[in-house]
Amino acid sequence: RRSTFRLSSFTSAIHSEKDSLPFFKYGPQDLRFLLTGNQKDYLPQFEGRYGFPPNRSMEVMYYNVEWLSELGYTEPPKTWDEFKEIACAASDPAAGKYGYEFSVDTSTFADMLFNRGGTMINEDATAYAFGGPEGLEVLTFLQELFNEGCAKLETERYGDQADFGAGDVLFTISSTSGLPYYRSAVAEGAGFEWSIAPLPTSLDTPKVDIYGASLSIFRSTPEEQLAAWLFIKWFAEPEQQARWAQASNYFPVRRSAAEMLTDYFAENPQYEKAFSFLGYDIVIEPGVAGYDECRDEIGEMLNAVAGGEDPATWLADTLEECNAFLEEAAPQ
């Protein structure tokens, strides 16, 4: 167990190849058995795969089906203009009702960016790239929603989930790992019909942001390294992955595990729907050293913009800070 480590896909804790083994020292080179998205668990700074991805969830939009229907809409918004139109139509600040509750989260910023055609980092992972027009569009869009009374800012942890369950918020954006908690919030709250959808997009088809923790093998003794690999190999088998998916609400890494989830899909239709979104274009956030610090900076930026500060200034400053973290943390 000492040789197996839970490594966040958001950051590389590895500052030298001496610390960790490339996954394919033991694992198969052929990735076709992996679900789409899991194949992208790669660290560009080290030109290798140092993690195995058994804990993946997806950023999605939660919505109140009944409220949407009352507003005259038969389906969730597919574009950002539609999202704003519906969110504003739903909002009545005096009554405590809002079209959207924004939880400050870098993954939400990233997914909004991806769905405007932007990217978080350049292709060779040497510089962040979220400071372009698409990044400014995200911040300006959010600020307009707040200024026009069409959105509110989450003020306590899981407040968006609670307000959604109470029927006070039409849309939230969050992880599919929260599906059981949303289900409980609605059941214990207003008891309405609800569902999920990919985020709106400016593109022909939506992009979906996949993220979560990975398993890595640190260098130790040959025996411990082999034992760690044997555990990962066992854990990746379809039977274990199907059980893990049901226990954790993460997606299984193997395509074949889906055949064992028929009953779970029937009992959890929102999870089955999320599973189908894996057929869209999968994107991931930067797997680079220093990204955790960058995420903190982006969180500060989102709070500032929600509070009315200048989006362009904060975007430029945050990009500079993130690139400084990237340079500082880069492997030598």
- pLDDT single digits (tens) 132-177: 999 999 999 999 999 999 999 999 999 999 999 999 999 999 999 9
For residue 38, report the phi and psi dihedrals to the nearest 5 degrees.
Answer: -65, -20
Distance CA 282, CA 41 (A): 12
* Token pair listed for 286: 């930067």
Task: Using DSSP bridges, classify how beta strands 52-64 and 207-217 pair: parallel, antiparallel or unpaired.
Answer: antiparallel
* Domain boundaries 58-207+292-329, corresponding CATH code: 3.40.190.10
Distance CA 267, CA 265 (A): 5
pLDDT digits (tens, 9 = 90+) for 170-217: 999 999 999 999 999 999 999 999 999 999 999 999 999 999 888 888
pLDDT digits (tens, 9 = 90+) for 64-107: 999 999 999 999 999 999 999 999 999 999 999 999 999 999 99
Distance CA 270, CA 194 (A): 9
Q: Which residue has the higher pLDDT, 108 or 331?
A: 108
pLDDT of 239 strictly over 80: yes
pLDDT digits (tens, 9 = 90+) for 263-302: 999 999 999 999 999 999 999 999 888 899 999 999 999 9
Distance CA 98, CA 148 (A): 11
Distance CA 134, CA 116 (A): 6
Superfamily of domain 4-55+212-283: Periplasmic binding protein-like II (3.40.190.10)
The DSSP call for residue 11 is -
Q: Where are the beta strands (DSSP E) in the chain?
A: 4-8, 52-64, 98-102, 151-153, 169-175, 194-197, 207-217, 281-283
pLDDT of 21 strictly over 70: no
Q: Could you tell me if residue 117 is left (phi over 0), alpha (psi between -120 and 50 degrees) or otherwise beta?
A: left
- Do domains 4-55+212-283 and 58-207+292-329 share one topology? The answer is yes
pLDDT of residue 141: 98
CB half-sphere exposure, 292, CA atoms < 13 A = 8
pLDDT of residue 17: 46
Q: What share of the chain is helix, strand, coil (3-state, %, to 5)?
A: 45, 20, 35
* Secondary structure (DSSP) of 275-312: HHGGGSEEE----STTHHHHHHHHHHHHHHHHTT--HH
Nearest in space to 291 (alpha carbons), one of 243, 318, 320, 326: 326
User: Across the strands, what pairs with 8?
Assistant: 213
Give, for 47, the enclosing helix (H) or strand (E): none
The DSSP call for residue 199 is P
Neighbours of 112 (CB within 10 A): 25
Quote the percentage of the chain above a pLDDT of 70.
85
pTM over cut 0.85 = yes
Distance CA 102, CA 163 (A): 11
Residue 56 vs residues 41, 179, 241: alpha-carbon distances, Å: 10, 13, 12
Q: Could you tell me if residue 17 is left (phi over 0), alpha (psi between -120 and 50 degrees) or otherwise beta?
A: alpha
Structural domain boundaries of the chain? 4-55+212-283, 58-207+292-329
Residue 316 vs residues 139, 232, 277, 310, 321: alpha-carbon distances, Å: 12, 42, 33, 10, 9
